Amino acid sequence: MFDFEDSFVQQLVNKDEQAFARFYDMTIDVFYRYLKGRYFLSEWDSQDLLSDFYLKCWKWLWAYNPEYKFETYVRSILKNHTKDFFKKKKSIQLKDEHMSDGSLVEWSEAELLDDLQKDFDLESIQQTLEWLDEQSYDIIYMRYIDEMWYDEISQFLGLSQDAVRQRLSRALKKVKERLWVY
């Protein structure tokens, strides 16, 4: 999704304020869309979470290991920071795209049940999805809730489109098998 040049990353690691401002401008829309699309957050919570995330990035730039992609490092900070935000709550709350006011916090049942043969109740599906590994969960969520195309998921996760398709297929198979057992 992002292609940060090595010289730019080095400026960030050296805490160049202008480079960080450019980094912010390059990433804010994508990260905001990720939070708003994936989690049921108020405008205030989204902005607060992102503000804290950028502060955390600034603080932890020194720990970046250049053996890995900088984008992966930054996405890890965002994901971990978001998880910390939700640890206070019993479970991650996802928005139901069918509610006009967004008041009901559930999976988008119509989209998930289409692929899960409409044979299972929403609660069973949600419990089964929470059982998946993080990447499988993310891929299913991005495809069916965020309605992202394979190329978008591929760019976001840093995987090939074939790998995304394969992992999605395997994840859905695991979900179906687990649902049929229960």
Residues 81 and 120 in one domain: no
Q: Give a yes or no: residue 63 inside a domain.
A: yes
- What distances in angstroms separate CA 55 from CA 5, 59, 97, 129, 181, one per listed residue? 22, 6, 31, 31, 45
With tokens 């098998």, the residue in question is 177
164-172: long-range pairs with CB below 8 Å, 24+: 164/139, 167/135, 167/136, 167/139, 168/139, 168/140, 168/143, 170/136, 171/132, 171/136, 171/137, 171/139, 171/140, 172/115, 172/116, 172/140
Task: Identify the domain boundary among 53, 87, 121.
Answer: 87
Q: Give a yes or no: residue 165 inside a domain.
A: yes
pLDDT at 7: 93
pLDDT digit of tens for each residue in the chain (182 aa)? 677 899 999 999 999 999 999 999 999 998 988 888 777 777 888 888 999 999 999 999 988 888 888 988 898 899 888 887 876 543 334 444 433 444 333 333 334 445 454 455 566 667 777 788 888 888 887 887 767 788 888 888 888 988 998 898 888 888 877 776 55
Q: Residue 69 has which token pair?
A: 């992609």
pLDDT at 116: 53
Q: Give a yes or no: residue 128 inside a domain.
A: yes
Q: Give a yes or no: residue 97 inside a domain.
A: no
CATH of the domain at 73: 1.10.1740.10
Q: How many residues does the chain have?
A: 182
Residues 63 and 121 in one domain: no
Q: Is 112 exposed, middle or buried (0-12, 13-18, 19+ CB in 10 A)?
A: buried
Residues 11 and 67 in one domain: yes
Residues 114 and 162 in one domain: yes
Q: Give a yes or no: residue 98 inside a domain.
A: no
Residues 6+ apart with CB under 8 A from 107: 94, 96, 122, 125, 126, 129, 145
Query: How many structural domains are present in the chain?
Result: 2
Q: Give a yes or no: residue 52 inside a domain.
A: yes
Domain that holds residue 170: 109-181
Residues 75 and 131 in one domain: no
pLDDT at 120: 57
CATH of the domain at 122: 1.10.10.10
* 156 Cα distance to chain centroid: 9
